Amino acid sequence: METISWHDFEKVELRAGTVLQVLDFPEARKPAYKLQVDFGEYGIRWSSAQITKHYTKDELIGRQIIGVTNFPKKQIANFMSEFLVTGLADENGDIVLSAVDKPVPNGSKLI
């Protein structure tokens, strides 16, 4: 495992946001959703996430997630992802979202 400095970690903008909208993403190679997330003063942004095994679209609406908001945009199929949704793989490799356990203001930075 490579060691990084505290300064390196501080460069990563891991921020809380609330899911506003969830759409199917049939063009993706692996099953995924398109998520629209409100990051407060950092704006409303879209991303895709391969989280269809553990989450329905309805249960994601209003949920706070953690996203990396300072990566460059990335094209995924015909869609432009504006942030990285964070999560952890379970024993089957399916993604479980990283999230906050109590509400925080949208845009709050993980510290």
Which pair of tokens denotes residue 66?
A: 């953690």
Report residue 45: phi and psi, to 5°.
Answer: -135, 160
User: Residue 52 and residue 48: Cα distance in Å, rounded?
Assistant: 11
- Mean pLDDT confidence for 16-43: 97
Tally of domains in the chain? 1
User: Does 30 map to a domain?
Assistant: yes
The predicted pLDDT at position 17 comes to: 98
- Which pTM was predicted? 0.94
Q: How many residues appear in the chain?
A: 111
Q: How far apart are CA 98 and CA 88, in angstroms?
A: 7
Task: Report the relative pairing of strands 44-49 and 79-81 from DSSP bridges.
Answer: unpaired
Domain extent, residue 23, equals 13-97
What pLDDT is recorded for position 91?
A: 98
Q: Which is it for the CA torsion 80, 68, 97, 59, positive or negative?
A: negative
* Domain contains 3: no
Position 108 in a domain: no
What is the H or E stretch that residue 6 is in? Answer: helix 6-11
Answer whether residue 74 is part of any domain: yes
In a domain, 111, yes or no: no
Report the pLDDT value the prediction gives residue 99, as an integer from 0 to 100: 87
Cα separation, 96 vs 13, whole angstroms: 20
C-alpha distance across the termini of the chain, in Å: 21
- CATH, residue 46: 2.40.50.140
Summarize pLDDT for 54-111 with one digit per residue, the tens. 999 999 999 999 999 999 999 999 999 999 999 999 999 999 999 899 999 999 999 9
Q: Using the structure block, give the residue that is written with the tokens 């991303």.
A: 47
Q: Which pLDDT does position 42 carry in this prediction?
A: 98
* Position 4 pLDDT exceeds 90: yes
Arithmetic mean of pLDDT, 33-58: 98
**In the predicted structure, residue 36 carries a pLDDT above the cut 90:** yes
Structural domain contains residue 102: no
